[in-house]
Chain A
Amino acid sequence: MRLSVLGSIILHSLILVFTVFSLPIFNDPKIDTPPIIQIELIEISKVTNVPEKSVQKSLEEKNEEKEKKEEKLTRPISKPKDEKSNKKTEEVEDTVKKVEKKIEKKMIENMPIRKPQTKKKDMFDPLKLAELIDKQKDTKTKIDDIPEKDYEVLDSKPSLNKRLTLSEEDAIRAQFMQCWSIPLGIPFDDTMIVKIKILLNTDGTLQKPPEVIQHERMNKPSEKYFRTLAESALRAVRRCDPIKVPEVERYESWKSLQLNFDPREILRG
């Protein structure tokens, strides 16, 4: 009975110790997540959207610098022609190997036994230095090989920072506000909102005539006020043609727009 109780206590304490040392939440420092504010996100997207090529270039430059440093480290020692010098170099090579082995041993000994795997990736591993250099070389050639046009293809792929920023949305909104003559005679009605879908060309011109989504309502004889509102909105879209648009690189993000012409607050009086 005693033995079994003791055994249970020992086993439990072992499991406890094991969890304390093994689970990442006990070792890992807390991840500092900055507070997400919408405006900040937009700023980020604005920054990341515009100079993507330059960011890639700076990455390339960093890679090149790394390569140069690593080349210095792994540069093959040129062998001297005479035997003496050969011997000397052999000796030097031996000492280097010994030192390296010592370093290896020390590194292995000093290496933390259990660390979260996510962090390991970022850590410098001298054992895989050569591999890393090879990979860098590969990536460099890949970046160089990408033609200019393909950046656009990359850009056209959907991602968060390809969306319109608020300021870009505002710029488009402001243009339609200028073009829209509100029919002020319409009485207030909570359903008085006209939704228009437009498709734009890269230069901001209309690809096809604007389309009222609620076109069925527009054609009803009892919906005279709605028709008037819809027609005023269509006039605004045509009057604004072509609109000033954000950069062509992000064409996919703004080529299709839904404009909601909503005069309810104005008509409420």
Chain B
Amino acid sequence: MKNILLFLIFLIPFSFNSYATIEIDITEGNREPLPIAITNFFHDGSEKITNTDLPSKIRDVIQNDLESTGLFNSIDEKAFIQENKSLHLKPRFADWRLINSQGLVTGDLKIEDERLKVEFRLWDTLAEKEIEGLVLITTPDNWRRISHMIADKIYERLTGEEGYFDTRIVYVAEEGPKNNRVKKLAIMDQDGANHKFLTSGKELVLTPRFNPVRQEITYLSYFKNLPRVYLLNIQTGIQQVVGDSPGMTFAPRFAPDGNKIIMSLAREGNSDIYVMNLNSRVVERLTDSPAIDTSPSYSPDGKKITFNSDRGGSQQIYVMDSNGRNQKRISKGSGNYATPVWSPRGDLIAFTKNFQGQYFIGVMRTDGTGERLLTENWYQEAPSWSSNGRVLIFYRETKADSSGKGHSASIWSIDLTGFNERKLVTPGDASDPSWSKLIQN
């Protein structure tokens, strides 16, 4: 009996060996955008819609949003095999696989009590199942926001990260000759729609920045040739001065909680970092260096601040605790570094770099390692993160010719891969963009 048992134990490894599963490591894959079919949203025609193109317009907005990421490839609707009527009942997955679609977006559109009701579904054509579905109800005029929200849901479900389509961009709209530029505050949806000016252009405006928790902007405006920091509520239009202290204030930016503003304040020829509590209006000094310390930006947890300073002889990026202690230089490469901005993810710092006459937009880890330059040009600066920390917007200027013509400024976006660079459409010249968080209301 004992011998039999021993023999059986001896056989165990052989039995495992005979049915061993082979492991295959797949470390590479297809980096092409994911093919996805976005269909016209179905409307049975029982209710009158003033905007008859609405089903296709919603589709177009979703398609543009997803394609702008460089991660999705929307399949041409001419290739669709299944018609909208039968699709409304149930997708024939084989038909969609046939045109190489891995995801399918379908939707219904209804008007109920003069309100627009949009129901959308996202299907995995290979698993043959619904993976996301949502009903959104709003006023018919608000169809663009609904479309962006649907695009956000699709993006989130297929990439795992939060979308950034239901967001706005505030920027400085420029016009006129270079020596006499008129600069106005302007706001638009991230895709360029719903554009409007927020200031008249009488005063020069600079560096607008979104509040991360409220529909509010802080910016710098010149009043009687003195720069002052302003707050502007986008919904109410109410504007107020927050910093009227002696000296000049620059580069204001909100803290992550939206209740503090960090900025650079120049007094007696020395520029340092200060923080102002918006409730108590108490100003606290954070750096005390004879050099120029400017462009401060909080980490998303509010515990650290990055800024740039020329205290070491050239402009470099530094990091310190939120109370001003443990100041440490992190940029290590050649050239000058400016406008550091902490990523909403917390893992990277974006910056502008000037090296050998060229300007770069790049990112580095928060300890200064892993520097990656994403884009290079004659002149570009002021990166601003998308709410999910995957895309940066910045502005780029073109060189004027000898007669002073040909100068222009425009907003561009680039993702962290450095491959998906796009120009944003604005009515005129544009600079100094700031990207809002998801609107969420």
Which A residues contact B (CB, under 8 angstroms)? 157-158, 163-164, 169, 172-173, 176-187, 197, 224-229, 231, 234-236, 238-239, 252-254, 256-266, 269
**Residues of chain B within 8 A of A157, CB atoms compared:** 18
Of chain B, the residue at the smallest CB distance from A254 is B22
Q: How far is the CA of A253 from the CA of B345 in the complex (A)?
A: 45
**Residues of chain B within 8 A of A264, CB atoms compared:** 27
**Residues of chain B within 8 A of A254, CB atoms compared:** 22
Of chain B, the residue at the smallest CB distance from A185 is B159
Partner of A257, one of B21, B71, B131, B161: B21
Asked if A228 contacts B159 (CB within 8 A), the reply is yes
Which one of B29-37, B240-248, B312-320 contacts A? B29-37
Asked if A260 contacts B31 (CB within 8 A), the reply is no
Output the residue of B24, B35, B131, B372 with the most chain A CB within 10 A: B24
**Residues of chain B within 8 A of A266, CB atoms compared:** 27-29, 31
Q: Does B160 contact A (CB under 8 A)?
A: yes
Given contacts A181-B35, A252-B18, 8 further A-B contacts (CB under 8 A): A173-B25, A181-B102, A183-B158, A197-B21, A226-B160, A234-B127, A257-B23, A263-B27
Question: How many whole Å from A161's CB to the nearest CB in chain B?
Answer: 13
Q: How far is the CA of A47 from the CA of B126 in the complex (A)?
A: 38
Q: How far is the CA of A250 from the CA of B126 in the complex (A)?
A: 29
Asked if A180 contacts B26 (CB within 8 A), the reply is yes
Given contacts A184-B71, A184-B417, A187-B347, contact A177 B161 (CB under 8 A): no
**Residues of chain A within 8 A of B127, CB atoms compared:** 231, 234-235, 238
Q: How far is the CA of A257 from the CA of B26 in the complex (A)?
A: 12
**Residues of chain B within 8 A of A269, CB atoms compared:** 372, 416-417
Partner of A176, one of B19, B23, B24, B417: B24
Q: Does B124 contact A (CB under 8 A)?
A: yes
Of chain A, the residue at the smallest CB distance from B131 is A231
Partner of B21, one of A229, A256, A265: A256
Asked if A239 contacts B24 (CB within 8 A), the reply is no
**Residues of chain B within 8 A of A265, CB atoms compared:** 27
Asked if B30 contacts A158 (CB within 8 A), the reply is no
Q: Does B14 contact A (CB under 8 A)?
A: yes
Q: Does B390 contact A (CB under 8 A)?
A: yes
Q: Does B17 contact A (CB under 8 A)?
A: yes
Number of B interface residues at 8 Å Cβ cutoff, please give it: 37
Of chain A, the residue at the smallest CB distance from B72 is A181
Asked if A169 contacts B24 (CB within 8 A), the reply is yes
Given contacts A184-B71, A257-B24, A261-B26, contact A224 B160 (CB under 8 A): yes
Asked if B30 contacts A262 (CB within 8 A), the reply is no
Q: How far is the CA of A84 from the CA of B62 in the complex (A)?
A: 114
**Residues of chain A within 8 A of B25, CB atoms compared:** 173, 260, 262
Q: How far is the CA of A86 from the CA of B157 in the complex (A)?
A: 102
Q: How far is the CA of A243 from the CA of B345 in the complex (A)?
A: 39
**Residues of chain A within 8 A of B345, CB atoms compared:** 187
Given contacts A169-B22, A187-B345, contact A227 B160 (CB under 8 A): yes
Asked if A228 contacts B160 (CB within 8 A), the reply is yes
Question: How many whole Å from A252's CB to the nearest CB in chain B?
Answer: 8
Asked if A258 contacts B372 (CB within 8 A), the reply is no
Question: How many whole Å from B156's CB to the nearest CB in chain A?
Answer: 8
